[in-house]
Amino acid sequence: MTLRAIKTTNAPAAVASYSQAIDTGSLVFLAGQIGLDPQSGEIVEGGIEAEAERALRNLMAVLDACGLSINDVVKTTCFLADINDFAAFNAVYGKFVGDPPPARSTFAVAALPKGARVEIEAVAARSDR
């Protein structure tokens, strides 16, 4: 199996020892994205809704760099700094995912990088393999 690291300037750069995504040929594993603006490197303002939308747009930019779309995502894992944000997060998330939506796990965590309210990671599958 050949592993290919994916890198795009349309999503925030990796800030530690990880790739934005790893493409195995049939599956693509996307690192978690938070609500960072790719240009400023700062968390977007506007609360959980704005952060969730930016995180999803960041994921979509990495998917695009792989030649994939949100409709190729088969699994997401979502991390919330406050589980009370679940309903607001879910409303934004639902506007981005296709039908059927991917399998998903959502967890409350003690803290996220840069004080983010949400982080989303994903696994996408290539249908042409």
Q: What is the DSSP string of 79-92?
A: EES-GGGHHHHHHH
pLDDT on residue 128: 63
Q: Locate the DSSP E strands across 14-125.
A: 21-23, 27-34, 73-80, 103-108, 118-125
Q: What is the CATH number of the domain that holds 52?
A: 3.30.1330.40
Question: Measuring CA to CA, which residue among 101, 24, 44, 49 is closest to residue 70?
Answer: 101
> How far is Cα 103 from Cα 120, in angstroms, rounded to an integer?
13
Question: What's the structural domain count of the chain?
Answer: 1
List pLDDT tens digits, range 15-69: 789 999 999 999 999 999 999 999 999 999 999 999 999 999 999 999 999 999 9
pLDDT bucket at 14, cuts 50 / 70 / 90: confident
> In terms of residue numbers, what domain contains 75?
4-125
pTM for the model stands at 0.95
